């Protein structure tokens, strides 16, 4: 845990980010915690609910500033989510914050029944998601959460890609009348280029970050930056690759998916998730049921015993990098 | 607050009528959790007619009391009591478990007066801890009640919540255990014993009261007598599964058994006799 994290990007990818003028932001987790505190100072219905997770959730300052708006339940995720549901049913706006690996597995039944089925406006926040805790092993990976939650009715699934998307997502979640799942990691993230056309962040709205019709990469969460860099690398070879950030796995921006399928020569979906049941399969289903045939692949983690190491190591191993995603595009175009 | 002007004597009649109507609903639907509905009737009667500040009129009030039925399978009894409280006409329950009826086999917020969707066991107490925390943090005097099955207490989430309730000093929270000592496989003591329940809740920091769960006065006292400040209250209500129908009392098969026409006629006869006895006791 204490070893310094290896860089997320190769030297070539770092150089590319510099050429694109992309600045390094903070961890989305930190953007979440700061935004939640700012919102909660104004709206006293907002509560942070933690399962011995205020440290890992960067909510220490929240607890100090607003002690009546934080509830600690101890290491008890079922109770965490049940309590959040009860708070939400009584007019509070709880953000139940716990590592994604636990809050979408140990307490999945509470998410399904107490929050989604009862339809209370609680927010489930999966921190250190995907393989953020890569070296800690599969107990601490959440590569199932999109799949599990996509099969449960009535919860938005939101994986912001950078600090700006995170801030916007937290604000929308705080105002949402229905359940929301927020999911992000703990590594510092690059700030993404602005959305083409200035499209505002909204649930169900994809954000095009780079134009192109030779191919498209539809990406969500912390893979989006790698897609942007891959597109820039491909541009140097004359391949124009669209990049679309898909922060909401549900509601899915079907128009953006279908546009990529219709207009681009190949579609790659990138996600920090198992290949089963995530954004990739959501896009594949939509394309197929819309009778759109396009070279297609999912860049994600395989249905296999996941390698361990840092998030960066695991991304490199499975090709969720500038180099890896560019190669997936080339492969589809060959 | 007592919404109804019912006398203590009238309250006794309510229990008989609620049992009769619950069984009728189960027979009509051809399905239901008969034994556990009959065991908790007196608890629901006292809650809704003597204790809870929950009415159709105050339903939108943020400071109303809250009741979450964690043992959701006994929903037939709750539907009958809520109809009697005026949340909907009694004949609505005739659609119990029918195609597209909101009156399904577990509590659902689609039915007026139902606070939360329950049915999976071990969910009510954590939800009620959240509700009690909301009232505590807002500084109002709403009270929060949940009804747990004794078999349900094998679910570990109950004990997570029990720990948190004591830690957060939720003296506005009352957990009622319908201690009928039977679950679907057999005696709870034999399936996977959770006894002694009183000592367990006490060890988790609760003020425990064990009462006859069919004694209306004892139940009322258990639900309303102030407990120690900062301590949640657990009422272990000793009940009889199938209470009120002689051939169902304490008999396992009535967990979700539906009486035949003959059996139902016998039960109706017993309810009629009980009502006649109530009349003549004047």
Residues A140 and A228 in one domain: no
Q: How far is A161 from chain B (nearest CA, A)?
A: 32
Report how many domains make up chain A. 2
- If asked whether residues A255 and A295 sit together in one domain, one would say yes
pLDDT in tens, B266-281: 999 999 999 999 999 9
Verify that A212 and A128 share a domain, yes or no: no
Range A80-84 average pLDDT: 98
Tokens describing residue A279: 């954004």
Q: Final residue of a domain: which of A162, A188, A214?
A: A188
Residue B259, min C-alpha distance to chain A (Å): 31
Whether residue A4 lies inside any domain: the answer is no
Reported as a single tens digit per residue, the pLDDT across B115-169 is: 999 999 999 999 999 999 999 999 999 999 999 999 999 999 999 999 999 999 9
Q: Which two tokens stand for residue A163?
A: 């600090």
**A43 inside 8 A of chain B by CB:** no
Distance CA A275, CA B86 (A): 52
* Cβ atoms < 10 Å from Cβ of A11: 8
Which residue in the set B117, B122, B164 is minimally distant from A83, CB to CB? B164
Show residues of chain A in contact with B123, CB under 8 Å: 82, 109-110, 113-114
B135 touches chain A (CB under 8 A): yes
- In this structure, the strands spanning A156-158 and A248-250 are antiparallel
Average pLDDT, chain A: 97
Whether A309 has its CB under 8 Å from any CB of chain B: the answer is: no
Q: Are residues A291 and A262 in the same domain?
A: yes
Residue A1 lies in a domain: no
Mean pLDDT on A160-169? 98
Q: Which of A136, A160, A188 is the last residue of a domain?
A: A188
Structural domain total, chain B: 1
Whether pTM > 0.95 for this model: the answer is yes
Domain assignment present for residue B222? The answer is yes
Please indicate, yes or no, if residue A139 is contained in any of the structural domains. Answer: yes
Facing B134 at nearest CB: one of A74, A82, A92: A92
DSSP assignment string, A196-261: GGGPPP-TT--EEEE--SSEEEEE-GGGHHHHHHHHHHHHTTT--EEEEE--EEES--HHHHHHHH
CB of A207 closer than 8 Å to CB of A247? yes
3-state secondary structure of B222: helix
pLDDT of the residue at A215:
98
Is B1 a member of any domain? Answer: no
Question: Of A265, A269, A222, nearest to A243 (Cα)?
Answer: A269
Pair (A44, A132) in one structural domain: yes
Residue A48 has pLDDT above 60, yes or no: yes
| Phi, then psi, of A84 in degrees rounded to 5 | -60, -40
Domain of B252 in residue numbering reads as 8-280
pLDDT the model gives residue B149: 98
When scoring B67, B130, B143 by the number of chain A Cβ atoms within 10 A, the one with the most, hence best to mutate, is B130
Within-domain flag for A2? no
CATH of the domain at B76: 3.40.50.970
User: Is A70 in contact with A62 (CB distance < 8 Å)?
Assistant: yes
Interval A205-223 mean pLDDT:
98
CB contact under 8 A, B133 and A86: yes
Domain hosting A228: range is 11-22+194-333
Q: Which two tokens stand for residue B97?
A: 């478990």
Whether residue B3 is contained in a domain is answered as no
Position B216 scores a pLDDT of 98
Tell me what pLDDT residue A200 has: 87
**A3 part of a folded domain:** no
Residue A6: band (very low, low, confident or very high) from pLDDT cuts 50, 70, 90:
confident
Neighbouring residues of B231: CB distance < 8 A, sequence distance ≥ 6: B166, B169, B171, B205, B206, B207
CB atoms within 10 A of CB A290: 13
Q: Supply the CATH number for residue A315's domain.
A: 3.40.50.920
Residue A123 tokens, joined: 């927010």
pLDDT of B2 above 90: no
In this prediction, residue A5 has a pLDDT band, given cuts at 50, 70 and 90, of low
Q: Is residue B2 part of a domain?
A: no
Residue A16 lies in a domain: yes
8 Å CB contact of A71 and B168: yes
Same domain, A177 and A205: no
Domain boundary among A123, A153, A188: A188
Q: Are residues A35 and A174 in the same domain?
A: yes
Give mean pLDDT, residues B58-74. Answer: 97
Which residue on chain B is closest to A106 by alpha carbon?
B157
**How many Å apart are CA B190 and CA B110, to the nearest integer?**
37
- Asked if residue A62 is part of any domain, the answer here is yes
**Residue A5 domain flag:** no
Residue B31 is given by DSSP the state: -
Q: Do A285 and A159 have their domain in common?
A: no
Dump pLDDT digits (tens) for B90-101. Answer: 999 999 999 999
| Total CB pairs under 8 A between chain A and B | 98
Q: What is the pLDDT of residue A199?
A: 81
């Amino acid at each position: 845990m204490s070893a310094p994290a290896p860089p997320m990007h190769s030297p070539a990818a770092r150089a590319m980010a510099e050429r694109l003028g992309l600045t390094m932001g903070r961890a989305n987790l930190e953007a979440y915690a700061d935004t939640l505190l700012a919102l909660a100072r104004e709206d006293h219905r907002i509560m942070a609910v933690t399962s011995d997770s205020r440290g890992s959730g960067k909510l220490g300052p929240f607890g100090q500033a607003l002690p009546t708006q934080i509830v600690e339940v101890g290491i008890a995720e079922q109770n965490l989510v049940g309590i959040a549901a009860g708070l939400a049913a009584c007019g509070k706006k709880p953000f139940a914050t716990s590592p994604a690996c636990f809050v979408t597995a140990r307490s999945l039944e509470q998410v399904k029944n107490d929050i989604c089925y009862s339809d209370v406006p609680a927010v489930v926040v999966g921190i250190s998601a995907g393989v953020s805790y890569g070296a800690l092993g599969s107990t601490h990976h959440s590569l199932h959460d999109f799949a599990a939650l996509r099969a449960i009715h009535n919860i938005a699934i939101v994986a912001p890609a950078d600090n700006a998307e995170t801030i916007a997502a937290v604000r929308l979640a705080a105002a949402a009348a229905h359940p929301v799942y927020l999911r992000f990691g703990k590594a510092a993230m690059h700030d993404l280029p602005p959305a083409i056309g200035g499209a505002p962040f909204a649930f169900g709205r994809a954000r095009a970050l780079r134009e192109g019709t030779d191919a498209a990469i539809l990406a969500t969460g912390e893979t989006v930056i790698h897609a942007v860099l891959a597109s820039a690398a491909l541009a140097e070879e004359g391949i124009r690759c669209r990049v679309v950030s898909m922060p909401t796995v549900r509601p899915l921006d079907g128009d953006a998916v279908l546009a990529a399928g219709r207009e681009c020569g190949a579609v790659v979906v990138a996600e920090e998730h198992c290949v089963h049941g995530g954004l990739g399969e959501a896009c594949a289903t939509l394309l197929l049921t819309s009778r759109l045939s396009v070279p297609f692949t999912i860049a994600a983690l395989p249905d296999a015993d996941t390698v361990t190491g840092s998030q960066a190591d695991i991304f490199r191993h499975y090709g969720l990098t500038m180099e890896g995603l560019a190669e997936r595009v080339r492969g589809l175009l060959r | 607050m007592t919404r109804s002007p019912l006398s203590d004597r009238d309250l006794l009649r309510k229990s008989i009528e609620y049992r009769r109507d619950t069984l009728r609903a189960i027979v009509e639907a051809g399905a239901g959790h008969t034994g556990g509905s009959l065991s908790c009737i007196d608890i629901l009667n006292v809650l809704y007619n003597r204790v809870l500040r929950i009415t159709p009129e105050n339903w939108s009030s943020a400071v109303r009391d809250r009741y979450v039925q964690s043992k959701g399978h006994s929903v037939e009894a709750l539907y009958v009591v809520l109809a009697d409280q005026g949340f909907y006409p009694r004949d609505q329950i005739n659609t119990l478990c029918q195609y597209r009826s909101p009156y399904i086999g577990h509590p659902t917020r689609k039915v007026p007066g139902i606070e939360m969707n329950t049915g999976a066991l071990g969910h009510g107490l954590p939800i009620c801890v959240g509700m009690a925390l909301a009232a505590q943090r807002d500084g109002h005097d709403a009270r929060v009640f949940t009804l747990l099955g004794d078999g349900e207490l094998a679910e570990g989430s109950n004990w997570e919540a029990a720990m948190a309730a004591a830690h957060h000093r939720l003296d506005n929270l009352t957990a009622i255990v319908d201690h009928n000592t039977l679950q679907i496989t057999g005696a709870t003591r034999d399936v996977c014993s959770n006894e002694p329940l009183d000592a367990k809740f006490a060890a988790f920091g609760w003020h425990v009261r064990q009462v006859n769960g069919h004694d209306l006065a004892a139940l009322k006292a258990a639900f309303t007598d102030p407990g120690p400040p900062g301590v949640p209250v657990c009422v272990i209500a000793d009940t009889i599964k199938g209470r009120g129908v002689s051939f169902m009392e304490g008999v396992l098969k009535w967990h979700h058994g539906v009486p035949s026409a003959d059996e139902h006629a016998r039960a109706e006869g017993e309810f009629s006799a009980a009502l006649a006895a109530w009349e003549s006791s004047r």
